[in-house]
Structure formats: C-alpha cells, structure tokens
C-alpha cells in the first residue's frame, strides 16, 4: 500500500511551479546579459569611432597605446554598464529588469507591500550579481540546489523573485480598504436617544 507512488496534487504543482520559476529566472538573466552586451558594444563602438575621428593627429605611439588599452576599457565599461543596468532597473522599475518584464517576473521584499524596491535593496542585489562575475555567473545556479530557490542576490538583499501569477494572488488577497465594514453590533437608536435625554435633563 505505502509502496505505491501516487502523485500528491499540491506538492507536484509546487514542484512544477518552482521549476518553471527557476527556468524563467535563467531566461530572464540571459536576456539581461544579452541587452547589457548590446549596450556595451554600442558604447565601445562610439568610443572607438571617437578616438579615430579626433585623435588621428596624435603620434602613432600614442594611438597604439590607446588601441592596446581597448580591452581594459571594454572590461571597465562592461562592469559599469552591468552594475548600472541592474541598479537602475530594480530601483526605477519596481523590481523588474527588462528581462524579468519579458518573462513576467518581479523582485519583492518579504516584509513590505510596496512595489518599489529601496535603494539599499537594489544596491545589495546588484552587488550579489557582481560577486558572481569572476565565476562566470556559475554561482547563480545555487537556487537550483536549494529548496527555497534562493541565491546570492536574494540572500544579500533579503528579497525573492516571484512570477506574475504569485503577484496577482497576493494582490487579490490584500485588503484594499475600499469596502465599508458593517459593525457586528450597530448602535441602538433607543439607547442613543435615552442618553441624549439624560444630557438635556
């Protein structure tokens, strides 16, 4: 009897939801990296053309030195674009990067109902991504081996990633306060009249 492997509905659905969330997070981060690389290449293209157009009169040795340092400039530019991309996206777009917007994901803090991430949370989450750069972003695979699906950016910023369905569910459960609450025991009009008569007398 106990050896029969029957799927429990709510547990299996949770597992599928977790896998789907992790997959969407991976796709979203890949999309963000793709957009960052495009921005980086556009800036470097502008920089190289600027150097060629305005520094052609410099000595050949100076131009060669500038050309040799293009790789260092490219790396520095990538790091600046990388940090600025995530920091500004999280802080100005309510916890959503362009990649997360495409895949209907959002970063949320667990102890607040505000859609806006604080500057501190945005900075710490960006720092979490920055730490994974030397490892080739392999540390971002940590959520695949944890039951809570949290990684370094989540730990540092004390935040979590949820999809659009979870966001809609949370919003539907929140009390908007627009509906009027009817008292369980409304005030007795007779008692109210008696109290007024006593005050008059």
Q: What pLDDT does 16 receive?
A: 61
Domain range holding 111? 9-170
Confidence class for position 179, pLDDT limits 50, 70, 90? very low
Residue 39 lies in a domain: yes
Total structural domains in the chain?
Answer: 1
pLDDT tens sequence across 92-149: 998 999 999 999 999 988 877 677 899 999 999 999 999 999 999 999 999 999 988 8
pLDDT tens sequence across 59-80: 777 777 777 778 888 899 999 9
Give percent above pLDDT 70 in the chain: 74
Residue 140 lies in a domain: yes
Residue 182 lies in a domain: no
**What pTM value is reported for the model?**
0.73
Given a contact cutoff of 8 angstroms between Cβ atoms, the answer to whether 39 and 85 are in contact is yes
Sign of CA dihedral 68, 71, 76, 81: positive
Give percent above pLDDT 90 in the chain: 47
Q: CA-to-CA distance for 77 and 19, rounded, in angstroms? A: 34
Residue 33 lies in a domain: yes
Q: What pLDDT does 181 receive?
A: 47
Residue 200 lies in a domain: no
Residue 185 lies in a domain: no
Could you write out the DSSP letters of every residue in 47-89? HHHHHHHHSTTS-HHHHHHHHHTHHHHHHHHHHHHHHHHHHHH
Q: What pLDDT does 110 receive?
A: 82
In this structure, are strands 105-108 and 160-163 parallel, antiparallel, or unpaired? antiparallel
């Amino acid at each position: 009897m106990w050896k029969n492997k029957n799927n429990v509905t709510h547990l299996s659905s949770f597992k599928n939801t977790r896998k789907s969330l992790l997959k969407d997070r991976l796709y979203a981060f890949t999309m963000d990296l793709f957009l960052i690389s495009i921005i980086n290449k556009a800036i470097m293209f502008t920089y190289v053309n600027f150097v060629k157009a305005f520094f052609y009169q410099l000595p050949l040795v100076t131009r060669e030195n500038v050309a040799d340092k293009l790789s260092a400039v490219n790396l520095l530019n990538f790091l600046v674009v990388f940090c600025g991309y995530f920091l500004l996206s999280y802080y100005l777009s309510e916890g959503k990067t362009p990649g997360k917007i495409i895949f209907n994901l959002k970063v949320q803090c667990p102890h607040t109902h505000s859609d806006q991430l604080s500057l501190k949370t945005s900075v710490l989450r960006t720092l979490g991504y920055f730490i994974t750069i030397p490892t080739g972003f392999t540390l971002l695979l940590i959520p695949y081996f944890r039951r809570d699906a949290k990684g370094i950016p989540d730990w540092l910023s004390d935040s979590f990633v949820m999809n659009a369905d979870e966001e809609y569910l949370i919003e539907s459960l929140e009390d908007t306060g627009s509906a009027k609450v009817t008292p369980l025991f409304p005030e007795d009009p007779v008692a109210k009249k008696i109290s007024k008569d006593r005050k008059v007398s």
